[in-house]
Amino acid sequence: MLSTMQDTPLSIAQLLRHGSTIHGTAEVVTWTDAGARRRSYADVGRRCAQLAHALRGLGVTGDERVGTFMWNNAEHLEAYLAIPSMGAVLHTLNIRLFPEQLVFVANHGEDHAIIVDPTLVPLLNPQLAQMETVKHVIVTGDSADGVDAPEGVQVHAYEQLIADQPTDFDWPDVDERSAAAMCYTSGTTGDPKGVAYSHRSIFMHSMQVCMTDGPALKQGDRALAVVPQFHAMSWGLPYAAFMIGASLIMPDRFLQPEPLAALIAAEKPNFSAAVPTIWQGLHQYLEANPQDISFMKDVLIGGSAVPPSLMHTFEEDHGVQVLHAWGMTETSPLGSVARPPAGTEGEERWRYRYTQGRFPASVQARLVDDLGEVVPNDGNSVGELEVRGPWITGSYYGVDAPEKFQDGWLRTGDVGTITPDGYLTLTDRTKDIIKSGGEWISSVDLENAVMGHPDVIEAAVIGIADAKWDERPLVAVVLREGSDAKVEDLQEFLSDKVAKWQLPENWTVINEVPKTSVGKFDKKRLRSQYTDGDLEVTRI
């Protein structure tokens, strides 16, 4: 029996219409070297129509892809809204990809045009000639100078291109399951793989970002989106903010602690989102340059596990509550959010907050062991996390990857436990688990324990070959400037924090943990450094 409900599709165009009228006075604030520039959502709505007309004029029809090579700013927000609303597909290009990966994704996605920020033109120029389908380069601002356009590629200045276009657009109807935006994962192995979000998945994900068991973004919030728009859709904040009427504060290229602190002081966000390293850096800066940030009530942190010490520091030193979350490009990206159950207090509450949190009703999660069997959610059984739901990818764009899926569930590559009431604790990546004498040692648990030491800024743990135990952990630590801590002190510090047989005997002090293009620990590189003999290892 069919329902009598209307069959209206969920669409970005509806989100754009809603945000630019009902929430027309909300604003997107973009940081510049001369302070903030502001634009109301009503203006964003008009400029989206102009951009869509302009892109049609450049031959963008049907589901053609339009790339963006941009920081977080007002024009990137316009691209987010206008491109899917006109039926085309937004392709966010990660500016931190290696050159050959960047060329690969632009060609694989068959981008017809690329919108680029002036400061990023030099980074794009060397690759342009190899981007085979790109016909237009649009530089944000008033000038298109500086683009080394290959033959057959036209260059435009964004403001001139849209200036004389009509300020309304008859947004077409779309199938809600058609692609709205795509994003390639910056996999450490093989070519990047594309995830194509649908209008439906983005719309529903935006609702979740505004739900009480999610980040609970609300009308009137001032949301600082530090997490890049080229990385997992800035965790869905631009769309969710437009849906709910929260203003967006965009740092553009000013992601270093000092300008970020200035932006925070000037614009007083009450909500923010970024990976741990950003907050780690900001915290160090604030220690040296004290500044009140307590108006920033909630900070969503994900992308990699948040060290408990960082959560305590933010709450106790700065009055800012860290909301730990888990997700990945393939999951839109939320994921689980660590809201403790109502009524929990003190240590119990903290224990819930240290976890990766629990999933909303829309996302199912299960743990699967080495043999492909589902293990119970008993808080002890360890397995690989698999997820399912309307905003979880079920495949990759134009490439088979059967090893990433099982019976329609996405295999996340993350390993951990789930409690009966649904709280996920990740202990490792499947590939980073250290297999020592038939037992598993979590590299992440060790890292967190080491990072609890006051002199340790960062710590990364990898498994290294061991004649007796197959593998044993090697701890690479970055020490605070001026620290005279010895690795023996650090091992001693761990002695009451981890099981005796897990206590690492191999240590190396380094200047910085190598990072991937999105700021995660690059353990692959650390492993190469070790096997190449580039690390000075102390064996205690």
Looking at beta carbons only, is 200 or 283 nearer to its own copies? 200
Selection from 268, 252, 359, 254 nearest residue 320 by Cα: 268
The verdict on 358 binding its own copies (CB under 8 A) reads yes
Looking at beta carbons only, is 217 or 415 nearer to its own copies? 217
Looking at beta carbons only, is 190 or 533 nearer to its own copies? 190
Which strand (E) or helix (H) includes residue 164? none
Query: Does residue 412 carry a catalytic annotation?
Result: no
Contacts of 499 by beta carbon, 8 Å cutoff, 6+ apart:
none
Query: Does residue 61 carry a catalytic annotation?
Result: no
Residue 258 Rama label (left phi>0; alpha psi -120 to 50; beta): alpha
The verdict on 334 binding its own copies (CB under 8 A) reads no
Query: Does residue 25 carry a catalytic annotation?
Result: no
Active-site entry in 64, 75, 176, 330: 330
Stretch that binds its own copies, among 19-27, 135-143, 153-161, 303-311 (CB under 8 A): 19-27
Q: Where are the beta strands (DSSP E) in 456-518?
A: 456-466, 470-479, 506-509
Active-site entry in 404, 440, 469, 520: 440
Active-site entry in 21, 100, 258, 435: 435
Distances (CA, A) of 493 to 347, 411, 455, 480, 503: 21, 36, 11, 16, 10
Which listed residue (179, 325, 456, 474) binds its own copies by CB under 8 A? 179
CA dist., res. 305 & res. 135, Å (int): 41
CA dist., res. 193 & res. 214, Å (int): 27
Query: Does residue 531 carry a catalytic annotation?
Result: no
Selection from 17, 333, 338 nearest residue 181 by Cα: 333
Q: What does the chain come to in residues?
A: 540
Selection from 74, 43, 45 nearest residue 249 by Cα: 74
Closest distance to its own copies from the beta carbon of 242 (Å) = 9
Looking at beta carbons only, is 69 or 359 nearer to its own copies? 359
CA dist., res. 80 & res. 185, Å (int): 18
Kindly give the interhelix angle for 276-288 and 257-267, rounded to the nearest 10 degrees: 80
The verdict on 14 binding its own copies (CB under 8 A) reads yes
**412 burial class (0-12, 13-18, 19+ CB within 10 angstroms)?**
buried
Which listed residue (362, 417, 425, 506) binds its own copies by CB under 8 A? 362
The verdict on 351 binding its own copies (CB under 8 A) reads no
The verdict on 394 binding its own copies (CB under 8 A) reads yes
The verdict on 4 binding its own copies (CB under 8 A) reads yes
The verdict on 207 binding its own copies (CB under 8 A) reads yes
Which listed residue (259, 390, 413, 514) binds its own copies by CB under 8 A? 390
Which listed residue (135, 388, 497, 520) binds its own copies by CB under 8 A? 388
Which listed residue (210, 275, 415, 487) binds its own copies by CB under 8 A? 210
Active-site entry in 140, 185, 355, 508: 185
Looking at beta carbons only, is 63 or 315 nearer to its own copies? 63
Looking at beta carbons only, is 420 or 454 nearer to its own copies? 420
54-83 residues in contact with its own copies (CB under 8 A) are 63
The verdict on 7 binding its own copies (CB under 8 A) reads yes
Decide: 65 and 109 in contact? Cβ < 8 Å: yes
Chain Cα centroid distance, residue 458: 20
Which listed residue (135, 218, 404, 524) binds its own copies by CB under 8 A? 218
The verdict on 213 binding its own copies (CB under 8 A) reads yes
CA dist., res. 66 & res. 35, Å (int): 29
Which listed residue (31, 80, 158, 391) binds its own copies by CB under 8 A? 391
CA dist., res. 416 & res. 422, Å (int): 12
The verdict on 244 binding its own copies (CB under 8 A) reads yes
The verdict on 389 binding its own copies (CB under 8 A) reads yes
37-56 residues in contact with its own copies (CB under 8 A) are none
Q: Which residues are catalytic?
A: 185, 330, 435, 440
